[in-house]
Amino acid sequence: MRRFLSLAAVVAIAATASATTMRRYSLEEVRDHAEAVFVGKVVSSTVRPVMNGQLVATDYSIEVSDVLSGEVPAITTVTFLGGKDAHYDVAIPGSPALEAGRSYLFFRTKQPNNTTVGWGQGLYRIEKVKTAGAEQTVLISGDGELLRMSHGTLVRGEAVTVRDGALVKIASSDSQAGDARDTNGVAFNADGTPARRVGPATAVAAEAPGTAATLEDVRIFVRSRQ
C-alpha cells in the first residue's frame, strides 16, 4: 500500500497515460474470446488499486438491458485499467473510459480480468445519428471505428465520431497530405530485357456502399459462433 500511496501522491496532480501492445483481433476472434456479450448502461463506477498499488482500475457497474450470449445478471461490472476519483487520477488512453448514463455493447472477457476483449476492440458505444432526416443507431468501437456491414459481412470501418448528431470521419489536425506511391518503377530481367508486368488475376471488387451495422446484425453474428 505504501507504494500505491507513493504513486497516488504523484498522480493526484500528474496522472498517467499509456498505450498498449495486445492482439489485434478479428471480429470473429473478439466474439470467440468473449465469455459474455451484452448491452447495458453505465450506472456508477468505483476506482481501486491494482498491481500491488502501482496502478488503479475502475469497476463500472452496468445495468444490463440485452444479453446476446452468456450468463449475465441484471447488474454486472466491467473493469478497465486506470481511473479517476477524489483520491486517484490515473488515465490510460488505450484503456477505455466509460461515460455514466451511456449505453454500450460489451464483449467481456473471463474473470478475473473482467474487461472487454482487446479493450477498445470489444467495446462499442451505441449512438443515434441523423442522416437525410432519418435516425439510426450505430455502433462505434472503443478504438473509434464504425462497425458496418459490407457484402453481408460485419467489418470494421473508418475512425468516426458523432458531431451535432451526424457521423463524421475523424480528420487529423496534423498535415495528412498523404504519401503517394512512386509509380515510375521499371522491371527488367537479368539480361536487361523488360520483365512482364502481370495484371490483377481477377478484378478487384469495388468497395460496396456499406451500411452501418445494427444491433441485430451483431446478434446474428454472435449466434453464428461455432
Partner 1 sequence: MKKLLFVLLIAGSAFAQRTESCTCGIPGQVPTPWEIRHVDPVAQQAAVNAFNTWNLYADILAPQVGSSVTYDLGNGHNEILFRDFSTVPGLDPSTVGFAPSLPNGAFGNFNQCPVPFGTSCGVFSEADVWLSADIDWHVTRPNVDDPRDAAYYYSTAIHEIGHTLGMHHNFKNLSTMNYYQDYAGQFVSRADVLALRRQFPSRAKSVSDLATYPFRYDETVQTGSFGNNALKPATFSPTQVSAGGSITIKNWTIENLGTAAVTSARLRFFLSTDANITTSDIYIGGFKWEPLTSWSDDPDGTAFQIPAGTPAGQYYLGAIVGSGDNLALDGITYNNSWYLPTKLTVGGSPSAVCTPTANRVCLNSNRYAVELKYRTPDGAQNSATAIKYTENSALYWFSGPDNIEMVVKVLNACGLNSHYWVYGAAATDLQFDLTVTDTKSGKVKTYSHAAGTPAGAITDQATFDTCP
Site for partner 1 in 40-79 (CB under 8 A): 50-51, 54-55, 57-59, 79
Report which secondary-structure segment, H or E, holds 42: strand 36-50
Torsion angle defined by CA atoms of residues 157, 25, 161 and 147, in that order, rounded to the nearest 10 degrees: 50
Beta-strand relationship, 36-50 and 103-108: antiparallel
Nearest to 39 by CA among 82, 69, 60: 69
In angstroms, what is the minimal distance from the CB of 103 to partner 1? Answer: 17
22 binds partner 1 (CB under 8 A): yes
**What length does the chain have?**
226
Nearer to partner 1, 74 or 110 (CB): 110
Determine, following the binding rule CB under 8 A, whether residue 17 of this chain makes contact with partner 1.
yes
Task: Write out the binding residues for partner 1, residues 103-142 only, by CB under 8 A.
Answer: 109, 112-120, 129, 131-132, 134, 136, 138, 142
Q: What's the farthest any 2 CA atoms get from each other in the chain?
A: 74
Virtual CA dihedral for 8, 10, 15, 16, nearest 10 degrees?
Answer: -90
Q: Are 137 and 127 in contact (CB under 8 A)?
A: yes
We find the least distance from the C-beta atom of residue 107 to partner 1, in angstroms, to be 11
* The only residue of 1, 24, 71, 151 in contact with partner 1, by rule CB under 8 A: 24
- Tell me the C-alpha distance between 77 and 59, whole Å: 6
Determine, following the binding rule CB under 8 A, whether residue 164 of this chain makes contact with partner 1: no
What cell was used for 214? 445494427
> CB-wise, 72 or 129, nearer to partner 1?
129
Work out whether 11 is an interface residue with partner 1 (CB under 8 A).
yes
User: What gap in Å lies between CA 71 and CA 36, rounded to an integer?
Assistant: 7
Q: Is 86 in the site for partner 1 (CB under 8 A)?
A: no
Q: Which stretch binds partner 1 (CB under 8 A): 34-42, 65-73, 150-158, 218-226?
A: 150-158
Site size for partner 1 (CB under 8 A): 112
The footprint of partner 1 on residues 166-225 (CB under 8 A) is: 166-174, 176, 178-191, 193, 195-201, 204, 207, 209-212, 214, 216
